[in-house]
Amino acid sequence: MIVNAYAILSLFVCGLQCAVAVWLTGRWLNSRRAWSSGWTDDGAEVVERNAYLMMTLALVLLGLDLASWPLLYLLLQSYVPSWPGVMCIDGVTRIGTGSLGASRFLPGLLVTLQVFKPLVMLIGGAWLVIYLANRATSKAPLMRRLLWGLLLIGVTSLCDGVCTAGYLLIPKQEDHLAAGCCTQVTSTTTTRSSEPLLAGVSGTELTVVFMLLWAGLLFLLLDSIRKQRSGRKWMGGLLAITLVVAVLGGLFLVDVLSPALLQRPHHCPYDLVSELPESVIGIVLFMAGSFWVAAGAIASFCADVPETREILPGLQARVLFLGLFSYLGSFSLLSVQWCVL
């Protein structure tokens, strides 16, 4: 383990995350036993008593998950000077590649972490919308779905915490086979991501397709908010377009935006963290926009019951509003950044 201030802080946060996640999952199992044995008065009381605690724990857990996300990148940035051939976070993510020891798990753990963190946020956002819809009713018809959502949050956060702890505690020492006639030591840490992700597509084509789709999505969002559209088909379509825009946005960031903002030929968005930190706000806003829209769309499928039909369109309009302005904020910040540089 490389000990520095960020490593200690990350270990503390992931310890808290694991403890709260285990507590939440334990309470959930306790409630599950009560409600699976039938809705007796005692059982209902146990579930009700646990529900408030679990929801508070879930909110704390989501806060911890949110805090641990930027902390991961600050930790990786702090590891950069630890290896002679590493120039930025991209190099740190490659430490352990092709190694024989425990460090061979490091790149996989980082990939898993970079999948789990947005996943927890997506589940958390959708859960929050369902929670708000449920709170506006008098009979709490979405309680069961909310409880299942709590289990999902607990388990995903626990996996995320365990992966973080694993990444922190595994020694960052690379053990390679000695070079001989049949083996070759490959240094993966000195190379940089100089190749674009989409080899056959030019930057202009990618930019045009991405911008057109993004503009289309913004227009659909505005239309959904103003006309309060909340049908499942409409929201399903919105969710599908959001996913496509999110994927294209990632490709655009690596292939076009980061080389343009950093003014160098590499396709490494990690450099933005240290060199243009305000552009990271734009990227975070883009991700937040995608999460809000996805959460609003998921609510159409999970929170649509007769009791919520009156309030759901208004609630979704507000969630989509947050998504729309997150996207617009991202566009405003990044386009000004592009022009200023």
Partner 1 sequence: MVRPVNPPASWWRSGLAVLVVLGMLPVIGNIFRNDSSVSRCEWDGQVMRPEAAVTLELAGRSVTCCDVRCARNWLASHSERPTLIQVRDEHGGDPIDSADAFFVRSAVVTNRANGNRWHVFGDRETALRHARESRGRLMRGDEHPFAGVRGLE
For residue 98, give both structure tokens: 């092709």
Residue 201 near partner 1 by CB under 8 A: no
Among the listed residues 27, 94, 172, 266, the single contact to partner 1 using CB under 8 A: 266
Three-state DSSP at 68 gives helix
**DSSP secondary structure string, 182-233?**
S------SS----S-SSTTS-HHHHHHHHHHHHHHHHHHHHHHHHHT---HH
Q: Which of 38, 84, 180, 200 binds partner 1 (CB under 8 A)?
A: 84
**Burial environment of residue 275 by CB neighbours within 10 A (0 to 12, 13 to 18, 19 or more):** middle
Residues between 282 and 341 with contacts to partner 1, criterion CB under 8 A: 282, 285, 313-314, 317-318, 321, 325, 328-329, 332-333, 336-337, 340-341
For residue 102, the number of C-alpha atoms closer than 13 Å in the C-beta half-sphere is 8
* Residue 147 found at the interface with partner 1 (CB under 8 A): no
**Total residues binding partner 1 (CB under 8 A):** 38
When the beta carbons of 140 and 336 are compared against partner 1, the nearer one is: 336
Asked if 190 touches partner 1 (CB under 8 A), the answer is yes
- Sole residue written with tokens 């946020």: 121
The structure tokens 């009381």 sit at 45
Judged by beta carbon, residue 74 or residue 281, the one nearer partner 1 is 281
**Shortest Å distance, C-beta 272 to partner 1:** 11
Nearer to partner 1, 158 or 293 (CB): 293
Spatial CA neighbour of 254 closest among 264, 272, 263, 267: 267
**Residue 87 contacts partner 1 per CB under 8 A:** yes
State the residues that interact with partner 1 by CB under 8 A: 84-88, 190, 192, 194, 225, 228, 262-266, 271, 275-279, 281-282, 285, 313-314, 317-318, 321, 325, 328-329, 332-333, 336-337, 340-341
